[in-house]
């Protein structure tokens, strides 16, 4: 099977040349997203929604991303990375304006769906562009830095948006997101053209791409799904456990801040590890760290112990930085890159959408500690799946003809 490493890269660039055109705009985009994320629930409450309805409305952003992942692949294939970034930015602007001007929760719900769809198009387009211009040997560092830039912005966003929220209420953070979406979109639309950006036939149907690559999506994709669940579930589980042990909201916020700092600090080291030691050697430890963190939650009876667990989960998330994007580009078939990556992202995003819901359902049926143990078991299963199917030794990934693990043959041809 031809992999992402077979794509022509005659104009490969150094990572530092992407700082102002890609990484800084991603920080900017992340700042707006991070500032607005906790405010959408408050906006729903302002419009008269109950706590349960507010939570469901916020979850619609994840649903919008899941629904848009597959179409996003065809959008990038047809109009190129720059055009897709412009479209994604426009969708984001519409979504934020719906939220700001919403007269009722229905309009806010539509805005959340638009926001999720914007994130799907933005995410795929930026990934596709970086892969097109970066040498395959630097792919891990490039994509982990890209993910780290977004997470850095998301971490800083609530602090920078606090002043506007104090002066304008929840809409203050939404106005900040609107501004950063426009600025980041304008900066990335101005990126230079790539060979792939000039010719996007987009001739592959979604069904044909999924069917032809069903073996890879069903094996490696199962691991990606479990990564998405492990990453997203901690956002739901940690605050619930903090409330369970009687921690104050300010303490909970500090705990999240510590976890976020660890996550960001690991961004570049995770990329170096990916490029030097390989995808399997990075993915398996990250999932085992997730498993250890979730298994420790039922034993955290104080804020200090919970902070230790949160930092461990932040470390796990940081080690996995860029992992799923990198593996996806490694195994993407030649000529179907954008469409395949849309399907690949869908596996991860389904996990991200389902993970927090699973926490709520399991906790409602049993007790909160059981949800933590279930997540630890799921993370362990993810580690086993990565050990079985993820690409192995780093030397094979460093060559121009990267190989997928021999355990994951393409549906129509054996991996060479």
Same domain, 166 and 225: no
pLDDT of 41 reads 81
Same domain, 128 and 251: no
Same domain, 198 and 216: no
pLDDT of 335 reads 77
How far does the chain reach from its first CA to its final CA, in angstroms?
6
Q: Which of 66-70, 71-75, 404-408 is the least confident region?
A: 404-408
Same domain, 96 and 44: yes
Q: How far is the C-alpha of 228 from the C-alpha of 355, rounded, in Å?
A: 7
Tell me the HSE value of 97 on the side-chain side, using a 13 A CA sphere. 9
Query: Does the pLDDT at position 146 exceed 60?
Result: yes
Which of 227-236, 307-316, 334-343 reaches the highest mean pLDDT?
307-316
The model's pLDDT over 242-265, given as tens digits with 9 standing for 90+, comes to 888 988 877 877 788 888 889 889
Domain range for residue 179?
Answer: 16-203
**Is 147 inside any structural domain?**
yes
The CATH number given to whatever domain includes residue 188 is 1.20.1250.20
Same domain, 125 and 151: yes
Same domain, 150 and 247: no
Cα–Cα distance list, 292 to 307, 308, 316, 386, 390 (Å): 14, 12, 9, 17, 21
Q: Which residue has the tokens 């999720």?
A: 116
Q: Are 392 and 405 in contact (CB under 8 A)?
A: yes
**Is 11 inside any structural domain?**
no
Last residue of a domain, one of 203, 224, 258: 203
**Is 5 inside any structural domain?**
no
**Is 256 inside any structural domain?**
yes
Q: In total, how many domains does the chain have?
A: 2
The model's pLDDT over 163-216, given as tens digits with 9 standing for 90+, comes to 888 888 889 989 999 999 999 999 888 776 655 444 445 556 667 778 888 898
**Is 2 inside any structural domain?**
no
Same domain, 199 and 234: no
Cα–Cα distance list, 269 to 131, 143, 205 (Å): 19, 12, 38
Q: How far is the C-alpha of 416 from the C-alpha of 410, rounded, in Å?
A: 10
Determine what percent of the chain is predicted with pLDDT higher than 70.
87
What is the average pLDDT across 273-280?
90
Same domain, 255 and 360: yes
Last residue of a domain, one of 137, 168, 203: 203
Same domain, 159 and 218: no
DSSP annotation of 194 reads -
Q: How far is the C-alpha of 292 from the C-alpha of 107, rounded, in Å?
A: 41
Same domain, 317 and 226: yes
Same domain, 80 and 226: no
Q: How far is the C-alpha of 384 from the C-alpha of 362, rounded, in Å?
A: 23
Same domain, 187 and 227: no
Tell me the HSE value of 216 on the side-chain side, using a 13 A CA sphere. 33
Last residue of a domain, one of 186, 203, 220: 203
**Is 1 inside any structural domain?**
no
Residue 5 confidence class, pLDDT cut points 50, 70, 90: very low
Range 250-258 contact pairs with CB under 8 angstroms and sequence separation of 24 or more: 251/303, 254/307, 255/303, 255/306, 255/307, 255/310, 256/310, 257/155, 258/307, 258/310, 258/311, 258/314
């Amino acid at each position: 099977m031809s992999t992402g490493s077979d794509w022509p890269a005659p104009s490969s660039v150094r990572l530092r040349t992407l700082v102002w055109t890609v990484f800084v705009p991603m920080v900017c985009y992340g700042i707006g997203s991070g500032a607005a994320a906790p405010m959408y629930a408050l906006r729903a409450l302002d419009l008269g929604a109950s706590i349960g309805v507010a939570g469901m409305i916020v979850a619609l952003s994840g649903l919008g991303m899941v629904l848009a992942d597959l179409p996003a692949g065809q959008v990038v294939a047809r109009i190129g990375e720059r055009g897709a970034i412009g479209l994604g930015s426009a969708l984001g602007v519409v979504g934020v304006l719906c939220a700001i001007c919403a007269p009722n929760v229905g309009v806010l719900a539509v805005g959340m769906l638009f926001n999720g769809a914007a994130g799907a198009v933005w995410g795929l387009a930026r990934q596709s562009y970086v892969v097109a211009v970066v040498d395959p040997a630097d792919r891990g560092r490039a994509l982990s830095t890209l993910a780290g830039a977004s997470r850095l912005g998301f971490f800083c966003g609530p602090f920078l948006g606090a002043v506007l929220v104090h002066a304008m209420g929840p809409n203050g953070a939404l106005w900040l997101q609107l501004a950063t979406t426009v600025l980041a979109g304008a900066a990335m639309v101005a990126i230079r053209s790539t060979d792939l950006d000039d010719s996007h036939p987009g001739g592959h149907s979604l069904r044909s791409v999924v069917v032809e690559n069903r073996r890879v999506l069903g094996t490696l994709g199962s691991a990606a799904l479990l990564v998405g669940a492990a990453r997203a579930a901690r956002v739901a589980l940690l605050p619930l456990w903090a409330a369970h042990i009687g921690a104050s909201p300010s303490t909970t916020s500090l705990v999240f801040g510590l976890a976020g700092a660890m996550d960001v600090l690991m961004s570049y080291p995770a990329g170096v590890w990916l490029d030097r030691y390989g995808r399997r050697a990075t993915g398996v430890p990250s999932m085992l760290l997730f498993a250890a963190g979730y298994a420790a939650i039922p034993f955290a009876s104080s804020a200090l112990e919970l902070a230790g667990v949160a930092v461990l989960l932040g470390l796990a998330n940081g080690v996995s930085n860029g992992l799923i994007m990198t593996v996806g580009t490694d195994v993407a078939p030649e000529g179907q890159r954008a469409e395949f990556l849309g399907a690949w992202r869908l596996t991860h995003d389904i996990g991200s959408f389902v993970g927090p819901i699973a926490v709520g359902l399991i906790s409602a049926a049993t007790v909160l500690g059981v949800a933590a143990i279930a997540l630890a078991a799921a993370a362990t299963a993810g580690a086993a799946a990565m050990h079985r199917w993820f690409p192995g030794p780093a030397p094979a990934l460093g060559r121009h003809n990267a190989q997928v693990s021999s355990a994951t043959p393409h549906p129509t041809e054996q991996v060479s």
